[in-house]
Structures are given as structure tokens and as C-alpha cells.
Amino acid sequence: QVTLRESGPALVKPTQTLTLTCTFSGFSLSSSGMCVSWIRQPPGKALEWLARIDWDDDKYYSTSLKTRLTISKDTSKNQVVLTMTNMDPVDTATYYCARILLVGAHLGAFDYWGQGSLVTVSS
Amino acid sequence: DIQMTQSPSSLSASVGDRVTITCRASQGISNYLAWYQQKPGKVPKLLIYAASTLQSGVPSRFSGSGSGTDFTLTISSLQPEDVANYYCQNCNSAPYTFGQGTKLEIK
């Protein structure tokens, strides 16, 4: 059974760095073909893809946010970590991690999602 | 970046109606497109991947079609539990952009 769970602070101040952890079970990020992504959703708004990390440590980032994002993994702990620097109130959102379903060599979809972690940016 | 444009932005239909949501990519993405359903206050749920492959456990009234730049999600007979926001997603190449969403309501 695949599960993912996000953890991190519920409140951060402007200019601070956000660190979110995705702890998962039911698969291993050391297995070929396994990948995890982060997605966020501001209140009442659409989904926004943020970053992806693969079993071989390949990484991909949102174009508009790549200077602020870092994704990393700890396969021994079954965790993926996302850091976002210089937080701003517009970054207030629910942050999700999700497992990637590959179709051949392409991203197929996000087939399992965590419950999400609401992060509010406010002084 | 590939832009994903959904239409309509909102839709109201009656139970039993056939409902179609369209998604257009700003450049060709072959069939690397996914559809998600997000009910109010809930986590997004994968409905369809590779444009037309139904995810396991998803009711057969949902179907997807299209290739290249134009895609559709069809609900053959709308049910009350289908009230949700629906999102398409470019899965061809990073960044994996989502559409802006379509809000589906019951008339």
C-alpha cells in the first residue's frame, strides 16, 4: 500500500526558508523508475507543479521558481525534502507530494498523493 | 513552458447528462496528458493518464481522448458525486503544467 505524508511548519515568516518533508511507504526511491514530485495549491486556486526527483537523483524544477527551490531525497529514510527560500505571502498554499507513475520514459501522472500541508506565510 | 488551457472554466449540468471538458496545450504533447478530479476539500485524484487510459478503480463513465494539442474528458452520465474541479496536466516534459481547472456543478 502506497502512502505519502507531508510534514513541516504551518506558519512561516516572509523571507524565511520553508522546509517540507515527504515521508512515504509502499515503494522505494532507490528502485528504477520511481519518482516523487511536489505540487502546491493556493487557497481557491489551481494546482501548480513545483519539482520532481527521480530514483537516479535527476531533478526537475518549475521554471518560475527554480532559483528558490531545492529537492532532495534520503532513500534510507524514505523521504523527499523540498526547500523554498525567500518565502512570500503569495506562497501561502497547500503543498502536496505525490508519487509519479511513469509511462515508458515519460511522466504518466501522479498516481498517489499525500494529504497536503497548509503553509501560511505571514509576519 | 507549455501552457494548458481548459474550457469551460465552469459548467453546470443535470444528472444523467453527458459532460465534456476540453484541454488545449500550447504545443504538441503527444498523448502525455493526465486528468485529475478534486472534490471540495479533498486531495486530487488521478482519473486518466496517457490521454485515454483509465486509472484503476475509476468508474467507466469517465473517458479521455485526444492527442497532440487537443484533449477531452467526457463523463457519459453525470452523477451527483462527480461535483468537483477537474484539472488536465501536461506530462510530456518539465515543467509539468496544469490547466486552470474546470468547476463542475449539478444543475
Q: Which of B50, B87, B91 sits opposite A47 (nearest CB)?
A: B87
Tell me the count of A-B CB pairs closer than 8 A. 71
Contacts 24+ apart (CB under 8 A), B78-85: B78/B13, B78/B14, B78/B15, B78/B16, B78/B17, B78/B18, B78/B19, B78/B104, B78/B106, B79/B15, B80/B15, B80/B106, B82/B19, B82/B37, B83/B39, B83/B40, B84/B37, B84/B38, B84/B39, B84/B40, B85/B37, B85/B38, B85/B39
Residues B22-48 have pLDDT tens digits of 999 999 999 999 999 999 999 999 999
Cβ within 8 Å, pair A60-B94:
yes
> Residue A104: pLDDT above 90?
no
- Which pLDDT tens digit goes with each residue over A59-100? 999 999 999 999 999 999 999 999 999 999 999 999 999 999
Distance CA A98, CA A103 (A): 16
Position A106 confidence tier, pLDDT thresholds 50, 70, 90: confident
Q: How confident is the model at residue A101 (pLDDT cuts 50, 70, 90)?
A: confident
* Residue A4, pLDDT above cutoff 90: yes
Predicted confidence at residue A103, as pLDDT, reads 84
CB contact under 8 Å between B44 and A47, yes or no, is yes
- Amino acid A105: pLDDT: 81
Distance from CA of B5 to the nearest CA of A (A): 12
Instruction: Using CB atoms, pick whichever of B32, B92, B96 lies closest to residue A49.
Output: B96
Angle at A36 between CA A32 and CA A37, to 5 degrees: 145
Residue of B nearest to A59 (CA): B94
